[in-house]
Structure 1
Amino acid sequence: MKIIVLSDTHMPKKAKKLPSILLKELNNADLILHAGDWQTMEVYEELCRYGKVEGVYGNIDSQEILEIFPEKLILTVKQFKIGLIHGHGKKWTTEKRALFAFQDEDVDMIIYGHSHIPKIAHENKCLLFNPGSPTDKRRQKQYSFGIVTAGDMLEAKHIFFDEKD
């Protein structure tokens, strides 16, 4: 199962359209996950053209998004439990806030955003994944999004690119 993972699209402020490299990957996605800061519902509507979309809201999302999406979500994908959260807040780092949000849950993976910093790490038996941003790299060298493969195990990787065209 191929899962495309996005966060922090910030559209239309940071881009008028999703990058072509991302659109190409969306064409054969089984599931699309968005970890917040969509900014507008148009991003959700566009992603829905490619398949099933699940997501959470972020700290700059519109009221409409806040009414549709939860702050945090746990999805069961195959035999795996995946926690999804944006990760914004006032205490700790974004990663620590994401871990704290699911501390009482038995999740195999936590996907978070907010920092725009791509990251893959392990905390105990949990895979932590921040896809970065496909439209707002901030101080990162490249734009990015993620692909998670759910088979016998969960595997995550980043797709890095230079131009958001």
Structure 2
Amino acid sequence: MIRVGLISDTHGLLRPQAVAALQGCDFIVHGGDIGDAAILETLRAIGPLTVVRGNNDREPWAADIPETAFLQVCDVLIYAVHDLSQIDIDPAGPKVRVVVSGHSHRPKIEERGGVLYVNPGSAGPRRFKLPIAVAELIVVGDAVTARIVELA
């Protein structure tokens, strides 16, 4: 069993509750709008990090962060992009099993056409009345399940 922690839209705020929720993850994916390079260093101290640049990551430290990224976990291919409207592939084409995104700040898990779409929501500053959340994937071979973890 492999545990993949998903976080997005920190916007410069990495809450202690988010760090605690990600402890023990085998991999972490940040879906963009990071807001501060120090957040990436903290996440890398927890586990291997895959990160994509969000529309608000415009500072020089973010220039080398890709807009999309792939992560292979066992037999599951994960594709990360900040904004779903910016997907530059057909997820079913390269056999992507999971698409991780951010941008909307709305936590959501939805399966479409054999692809699991997961938005962990925002782990940073609260936006409107949306929950503060992260998510996790549990991967066993070619099977994957997802769940949203709301933070207190």
* Identical aligned residues as a percent: 27
> Which of these residues, 94, 105, 117, is aligned with residue 116 of structure 1?
105
Written as runs of structure 1 = structure 2, the 5 A alignment for 1:4-23 is: 4-11=5-12, 15=13, 18-23=14-19
2:114 corresponding residue in structure 1:
125
> Which of these residues, 86, 89, 93, is aligned with residue 102 of structure 1?
89
TM-score, normalised to structure 2, is 0.89
Q: Which amino acid aligns with 2:80?
A: L
Give deviations 1:18-57, integer Å, cap 9, x for gaps.
Answer: 2232222322110111011111211101111111111110
- Give unpaired runs (5+ residues) of structure 1: 88-94
Report the Cα distance in structure 2 between the residues aligned to 1:27 and 1:70, rounded to whole angstroms.
Answer: 25
The 3 A distance-change label for structure 1 pair 149 and 140 is: farther
Q: Note the aligned Cα RMSD (angstroms).
A: 1.5
Q: Which amino acid aligns with 2:117?
A: L
Written as runs of structure 1 = structure 2, the 5 A alignment for 1:80-159 is: 80-87=76-83, 95=84, 97=85, 100-103=87-90, 104-152=93-141, 153-159=143-149
SS in 2 for 1:84: strand
Shift of 1:102: 2.7
2:150 corresponding residue in structure 1:
160
Report the Cα distance in structure 2 between the residues aligned to 1:124 and 1:140, rounded to whole angstroms.
Answer: 31
Shift of 1:161: 2.4
Does residue 43 of structure 1 match 2:39? Answer: yes
Report the Cα distance in structure 1 between the residues aligned to 2:125 and 2:140, rounded to whole angstroms.
Answer: 30
On the 8 A contact 1:83/1:102 being kept in 2, the answer is no
On the 8 A contact 1:2/1:31 being kept in 2, the answer is yes
1:79 corresponding residue in structure 2:
75
Give deviations 1:100-141, integer Å, cap 9, x for gaps.
Answer: 433143210100001101110011100000000112331244
Q: Structure 1: which 4+ aligned runs deviate by more than 3 Å?
A: none
Give deviations 1:46-85, integer Å, cap 9, x for gaps.
Answer: 1111111111101111222121x21111211100111100
The 3 A distance-change label for structure 1 pair 63 and 130 is: same
Report the Cα distance in structure 2 between the residues aligned to 1:130 and 1:26, rounded to whole angstroms.
Answer: 15
